[in-house]
Structure 1
Amino acid sequence: MSWSTPEPLRRYLTDLVTVAGNVLGAELCGAYAAGSVGLSAYHPGRSDVDVALICAGPLDRRVAEELVARLRHEALPCPARGLELVVYRREVARSGTPEPGFEVELNTGARMDFRVSYGPAQRPSADGLFWYGLDRSILHQSGQALLGPPAADAFADLAPDDLHRLVLDALRWWLARPTPAGEVPAPGAEDAVLGACRSWVRLRTGIWLPKVAAGRRLVDESGPLVDVDTIELVERSIAARDGGVPPTGAAARAFQRRVLTDLTGTPADR
């Protein structure tokens, strides 16, 4: 883990790996910090804890349910907003597939709705099935091994065409989400803006960056996306992550459309 990872989070991740090992035994092949922890951008009070586990083969449902019971917040309190845990078979992690391919997905925390899915068939397509391939791509680049081989060896990256498609799927999913009407600040709009920046940076530069770093990287670039309004929007979005006023939903959506148009060469649907 990064030297900047808070000590309570370090202890939690150590305990999580211990519990997972007690439940899965020899089936547990690896455990990896993903998301903001993996990208060394964990923000106490705001960030989730993202963890990927790798198991040797398909999980028996009873074992999967025990893992969920032992790792949910009520059993192992998460010091962050919540835990987002995904379990993959070793062959899926190494395959570079764009498909979800997970065994178990668990969301749990003091400020997160509890949710569990035992396989992709239980995941509503409206919630997005692109997350998993993108998360494994980030893990390949920046995952931090808590147990097992380096993340770059445990997770294969996506093929360029699959990566491009999933990034565009994610942008379109964000655009399809309802936003408040009118020119009023919209909580969460800052993540929509900075998430679009991260998508743009990944496809244009080949690097996954944390959201804030991606926003700064985009405004440092020259091109049709970067003007006074864009710089102001990105700076406002970054400030909103530390308690500032978020941008309006209309401004966020307009920026997302511009990013999508830049990446596809085709005007985005309204």
Structure 2
Amino acid sequence: MVEPLRRYLTELVAVAGDVLGDEMCGAYAAGSVGLAAYQPGRSDVDVALVCAGPLDLAVARELVARLRHEALPCPARGLELVVYRREVARSGTPEPGFEVELNTGARMDFRATYGPAGRPPADGLFWYGLDRSILYQSGQTLLGPPAAHAFADLAPDDLRRLVLDALRWWLDRPVPPGDVPAPGAEDAVLGACRSWVRLRHGVWLPKVAAGRRLLAEAGPLVDAATTDLVEQSIAARDGGMSPSGPQARAFQRRVLAGLSGTSA
């Protein structure tokens, strides 16, 4: 872990502990940090906090005020923080179930949401169950018991449903028309690879590793065009040219069809 990120996470845990006091049960790095794939300048910082019981709204608002970028500058693109009650974290539920969600950063739109009722369904309600599944497998413990003890994985049917929901959600996002590079399309391609690997092989991998795993599998998705697209997407994460939006969408549709048993 790079030193600026280490210092930031240490301070974040200290501030959260000051606000939550005895209610704080654990803190865990998720996402690219948990999966050991953090890229300075590109990755977000994903953190999950676990609290003993429901948070009073005043406490939740104080936590947001103390952790937002203006109060505690995030060294990454931004912080995506979610707070769960201990019983929700351990339940394996596919439901959002969060107490607080905070998005904040120099290159991230600010958002603070106090419970699932404040989250527009159009923004996706599948994120939380999937994130807790990743935390169960690969969460990096910053405070508290090991992540595999603090979180539970999803049941197979729930996992499959949320992964497919996520793929459909991404397919509904607008993309630039035409055969021109679309910044961010590489993440759409590699995110679809990660979905494929998780449902086919039972493991969450970083996006680049998932792309390489799919190519090594030489399965039904892999042909010369797929190989070129995935390799281009991997290179784009290090400054290369992004694939086009239509290329990414066509690949996502093939992944969705392959995982759901429908025609592309």
The TM-score normalised by the length of structure 1 is 0.97
2:210 aligned with 1:214: yes
Counterpart among 59, 62, 72 of residue 66 in structure 1:
62
Percent of aligned pairs sharing the same letter: 83
Deviations 1:158-184, CA, capped at 9 Å, x for gaps: 000000000000000010101111111
Secondary structure at 2:47's aligned position in 1? strand
User: Residues 196-207 of structure 1: matches in 2 within 5 Å?
Assistant: 196-207=192-203
Query: Is residue 229 of structure 1 aligned with residue 225 of structure 2?
Result: yes
Which secondary structure does the structure 2 equivalent of 1:19 belong to? helix
Q: CA deviation at 1:67?
A: 0.2
1:86 equivalent in alignment to 2:96: no
TM-superposition CA deviations, 1:87-107 (whole Å, max 9, x none): 000000000000000000000
Counterpart AA for 1:133:
G
Whole-angstrom distance in 2 between the partners of 1:22 and 1:223: 51
Q: CA deviation at 1:13?
A: 0.3
Hey, what's the Cα distance between the residues in 2 that align with 1:192 and 1:267?
Answer: 20
Of the three residues 178, 181, 200, the one matched with 1:182 is 178
1:171 equivalent to 2:167? Answer yes
Q: Which residue is equivalent to 2:246?
A: 250
Counterpart Cα distance in 2 of 1:153 and 1:183: 47
1:133 match: 129
- Structure 1 residues 28-87: Cα deviation after superposition (integer angstroms, max 9, x where no partner): 000000000000000000000000000000000000000000000000000001000000
1:112-145 superposed Cα distances (whole Å, 9 cap, x missing partner): 1110100011111111000000000000000011
- 1:12 corresponds in structure 2 to 8
Cα distance per residue 1:215-246 (max 9 Å; x no partner) = 00000012220001001000100111111110
What letter is aligned with 1:110?
Answer: A
| 1:151 and 2:156 matched | no
Unaligned runs of 5+ in 1: none
Q: Secondary structure at the match of 1:129?
A: coil
Aligned equivalent of 1:24: 20
Q: Distance in 2 between matches of 1:128 and 1:97?
A: 16
Q: Which runs of 5+ in 2 are unaligned?
A: none
Q: How does 1:17-56 map to 2 (within 5 A)?
A: 17-56=13-52
SS at match of 2:229: helix
